A and B are shown apart, each in its own frame.
Chain A
Amino acid sequence: MTDLLNKMGPHDMGGDDAGPIDIVDHGMSHWEKHANAVRMTVSGKKLATLDEMRRACEDMGARYYDLSYFERLTEALVVVLREKNFFTEEKFNNQMIEVRERFDVPIIALPDDHDHDGKPIQEDETGEGPNDHQIMNLAIQDLLQENNLITANDIRKTIEKFDEDYPNRGQKVVVRAWTDDQFKSQLLEDANLAIEDMGIDLEHAARIIVVENTDTIHNIIVCTLCSCYPRVLMGQPPTWYKSRSYRSRVVNDPRSVLSEFGIILPSSISVRTHDSNADMRYMVLPKRPEGTENWSHSKLESIISRDALVGVSIPNIEENNREYNG
């Protein structure tokens, strides 16, 4: 076990004892997508660095565990933007009040026979209006827009990219590597160059390392200190990737973590655990299953789950892999 005296704080959880992993990806609600877009836009425009936001999260002490992932990031963003004098505490609090008033409208009961062509009405939220952290993000957005530092369009575009552009890029890269040996060598040597050569814009957002699964090596990716993940290549990380159990346990007990995801590996296959703890981001290149020799690219893509690119699933021709759903 780790010497507790050395621990930097609650975020430094590699090797901690923790319970089983909830392996279902619970996706993101709209306010979380908005919170993420505000954060990515702020860092993309270099108004604040992700390093500053991480540090502000780490400084929360025990509160780190009281907050959900996006609640934590939201509060950290407010701290950093105030430190950098983008707004004062008073100005921010007043803006929160103004945003809250905007939502202060009477709730109208829908008539009983109201339906959407027979489809169930989907409520994204509880129906009780925006939560405090959503209001914080809207207030941040307002104040930065007021100073022409960001636009509503920046936020909208970022949400769209995370929903539509980023999620399925990794699968395309894998299929290209499965079908083009020269590309594969380039990918393993210098992933950014190879991927951008395919016409995928990585937006200078990350240095990517691709690690290859072989007959004797299985790779698995984690970020113990926060939740670093190749977002421009794979979209948002799944809920479990950000969980305390996954982050704590993969580094010292990867085989039992893998078994919770349904993968039992013989000892003849060595497990390489990659902690994405600094500036590089990782994607696993899974092994191409036998029996797929004449498959089309789109059919090959269909058996590569997002989880396989993190190393907790193995492409398989017998069963349909879970579809990525954001």
Chain B
Amino acid sequence: MVNSNFSSYTPVLNNLFSIGDQVETYQSAPPGHRRTPAYIRGKRGVIERICGTFRNPEELAYGFDGLPMRVLYRVTFKQVDVWSDYSGSNQDTLELEIYEHWLKHPS
């Protein structure tokens, strides 16, 4: 029997966004190793889950320690909001992991 008081997800204390919040990804193109694909930048979605805190891969990629830890979210986007020419169902969705520093409240 699994101890339900323990979670493998790193506890998050100061998350800026909560599950169900509307968010928008930053539309910017900083050089370097980034984990937010170009196709999802500047798009609106909803926080689906908080994955925990992780060392920042954008710093780890250059040999730094990746600290402070960053909050990682799972964000759901409607396909029709991401691709204007999407040909599938209106209900189809895309889910991505987006770090907090790539997210803002919708403008």
Could you list which residues of chain A lie within 8 angstroms of chain B, going by C-beta atoms? 2-3, 5-8, 12, 14-15, 49, 51-52, 54-55, 58, 83-84, 186, 190-194, 197, 207, 209, 224-225, 251-255, 267, 270-280
Given A52-B61, A275-B94; A190-B72 close (CB under 8 Å): no
**Does B15 count as interface, using CB distance less than 8 angstroms?**
no
Q: Is A271 a contact of B88 with CB atoms below 8 Å?
A: yes
The minimal Cβ–Cβ distance linking A35 to chain B, given in whole angstroms, is 20
Considering the chains assembled together, what is the distance between the CA atoms of A3 and B42 in angstroms? 11
Find chain B residues with CB under 8 A from A276 CB: 97
Given A55-B62, A186-B2, A207-B9; A271-B92 close (CB under 8 Å): yes
Find chain B residues with CB under 8 A from A255 CB: 87-88, 92
Q: Is A274 a contact of B91 with CB atoms below 8 Å?
A: no
Given A270-B89, A278-B57; A7-B52 close (CB under 8 Å): no
Find chain A residues with CB under 8 A from B29 CB: 5-6, 8
Given A7-B38, A275-B95; A253-B87 close (CB under 8 Å): yes
The minimal Cβ–Cβ distance linking A285 to chain B, given in whole angstroms, is 15
A12-B37, A84-B63, A272-B95 given; 9 more Cβ-contact pairs under 8 Å = A14-B38, A83-B63, A197-B2, A207-B9, A253-B87, A270-B93, A278-B54, A278-B72, A278-B99
Q: Mark B7-45, 1 if CB is under 8 A from A, else 0.
A: 111000000000000000001010011111111110000
Q: Is A279 a contact of B2 with CB atoms below 8 Å?
A: no
Considering the chains assembled together, what is the distance between the CA atoms of A193 and B2 in angstroms? 7
Q: Is B57 a contact of A8 with CB atoms below 8 Å?
A: no
Q: Which residue of A lies closest to B95 (CB)?
A: A274
Q: Is B92 a contact of A272 with CB atoms below 8 Å?
A: yes
The minimal Cβ–Cβ distance linking A286 to chain B, given in whole angstroms, is 18
Considering the chains assembled together, what is the distance between the CA atoms of A239 and B88 in angstroms? 26
Q: Is B89 a contact of A280 with CB atoms below 8 Å?
A: no
Given A52-B60, A83-B63, A207-B52; A277-B97 close (CB under 8 Å): yes
The minimal Cβ–Cβ distance linking A288 to chain B, given in whole angstroms, is 22
28 residue pairs bridging A and B, Cβ less than 8 Å apart: A2-B38, A6-B29, A6-B38, A8-B34, A8-B38, A51-B66, A52-B60, A55-B62, A190-B9, A209-B74, A224-B37, A252-B79, A253-B88, A255-B87, A270-B92, A270-B93, A271-B89, A272-B92, A272-B95, A273-B92, A275-B40, A277-B35, A277-B36, A278-B57, A278-B98, A279-B57, A279-B97, A280-B51
Considering the chains assembled together, what is the distance between the CA atoms of A12 and B39 in angstroms? 9
Find chain B residues with CB under 8 A from A254 CB: 88, 92
Q: A275's contact among B4, B34, B37, by CB below 8 Å, is which?
A: B37
Given A55-B33, A207-B52; A273-B61 close (CB under 8 Å): no
Find chain B residues with CB under 8 A from A2 CB: 38-39
The minimal Cβ–Cβ distance linking B22 to chain A, given in whole angstroms, is 19
Q: Which residue of B lies closest to A186 (CB)?
A: B2
Find chain B residues with CB under 8 A from A270 CB: 89, 91-93
Find chain B residues with CB under 8 A from A224 CB: 37, 39
Q: A190's contact among B8, B54, B92, B96, by CB below 8 Å, is which?
A: B8
Find chain A residues with CB under 8 A from B96 CB: 274-275, 277-278
Q: Is B62 a contact of A15 with CB atoms below 8 Å?
A: no
Q: Is A193 a contact of B8 with CB atoms below 8 Å?
A: yes
Considering the chains assembled together, what is the distance between the CA atoms of A271 and B39 in angstroms? 18
Q: Mark B54-94, 1 if CB is under 8 A from A, else 0.
A: 10010011110010000010100001001100111101111
The minimal Cβ–Cβ distance linking A257 to chain B, given in whole angstroms, is 11
